[in-house]
Amino acid sequence: MSFLTLENRVALVTGASRGIGRAIALELAKRGAAVIINYNSSAQSAAEVVAQIEAEGGKAAAFQADVSDFEQAGKLVKFAIDTFGKLDILVNNAGITRDGLIMMMKEDDWDAVLNTNLKSTFNCAKAAVRHMMRKRYGRIINIASVAGQMGNPGQTNYSASKAGQIGFTKALAREVASRNVTVNAIAPGFVDTEILDALPKETLEAALKLVPLGRMGTPEEIAHAVAFLADERSAYITGQTLGVDGGMAMM
Ligand code: NAP
């Protein structure tokens, strides 16, 4: 059996310069998709992801866009369609944290997290959905978080943005199902990337005690779940949130 399960597919991964997004882009490319690598500030890292995909015989291109901005997200989706002729798979992965107890949280911390994590999901999906519906094919995969299911103290903004993505996933799944476009979310638990650098060591150690599998996940484990949902054969799965969290939240 061929491993090129995404051959002739075109994917766009937001925030693919580092961390989980980078692993997703590499995995989708390994399975045969041409991939647009979106980044905001890490141009060098994005260029390295493109180079790695090309070195392995795949197709990729990088595009700078702040996906929290409606217009920039629209230009990003247009770039994907213009570059590779279509867009089959959209992975809304870009995300940030600005943690703090609500007493200390500034309005800007709330706005930045909601705009980057949730509004970006609306921005990119809105730009992509008409094209996908016309083509009668699409896979939209939103990278949410276990924080959106369970809530985390110090993360009212982040947990709200991730719960918002899950609600958005269900509503959009119902809107576009008749056109063979599926919309799903993945809720990672703690995954070893730079986003966790902001967490105090003790908080992370305490959190890991809540993980039945007793360890952090890897970006590659999230990427594998994305590739599964992006597969043509996952056609009967929509509106779901797949936990990839070591068993932390058994919904
Ligand atoms: P990360 O290592 O900090 O990487 C974040 C990525 O998002 C970077 O590529 C960054 O690009 C991009 N990004 C940030 N703001 C952006 C914007 N406005 N426009 C475009 N790109 C932007 O984080 P990660 O751990 O890989 O997280 C990826 C996703 O998984 C996030 O949605 C996060 O909430 C979710 N998640 C992570 C964990 C975890 O434990 N790591 C757990 C659950 C969910 P630049 O560097 O170019 O700015």
39 lines ligand 1 (CB under 6 A): yes
108 lines ligand 1 (CB under 6 A): no
Provide the token pair at 63.
Answer: 């595009």
Q: Tens digit of pLDDT for each residue in 183-211?
A: 999 999 999 999 998 888 888 898 899 99
Provide the token pair at 122.
Answer: 């609306």
Q: Which residues contact 112 (CB under 8 A, 6 or more apart)?
A: 68, 96, 98
Helix, strand, coil distribution of the chain in percent, nearest 5: 50, 15, 35
C-alpha of 131 from chain center: 19
Distance 1 CA to ligand 1 centre (A): 33
- The catalytic site residues sit at 158
Q: What pLDDT is attached to residue 1?
A: 56
CA 140, CA 185: separation in Å to the nearest integer? 8
Domains and CATH numbers, the chain: 10-240 (3.40.50.720)
Q: CA triplet 129, 87, 92: central angle to 5 degrees?
A: 65
Nearest of 156, 147, 155, 26 to residue 91 by alpha carbon: 26
- On the question of pLDDT at 133 being above 90, the answer is yes
Kindly state the average pLDDT of the residues 128-145: 98
CA 186, CA 184: separation in Å to the nearest integer? 7
Spatial contact of 35 and 234, defined as CB atoms under 8 Å apart: no
Spatial contact of 185 and 166, defined as CB atoms under 8 Å apart: yes
Kindly state the average pLDDT of the residues 161-170: 99
Kindly state the average pLDDT of the residues 213-231: 98
148 lines ligand 1 (CB under 6 A): no
Provide the token pair at 39.
Answer: 């980044």
Residue 251 binned pLDDT confidence (cut-offs 50, 70, 90): confident
Distance 19 CA to ligand 1 centre (A): 7
pTM confidence score: 0.98
End-to-end CA distance of the chain: 33
Distance 3 CA to ligand 1 centre (A): 27
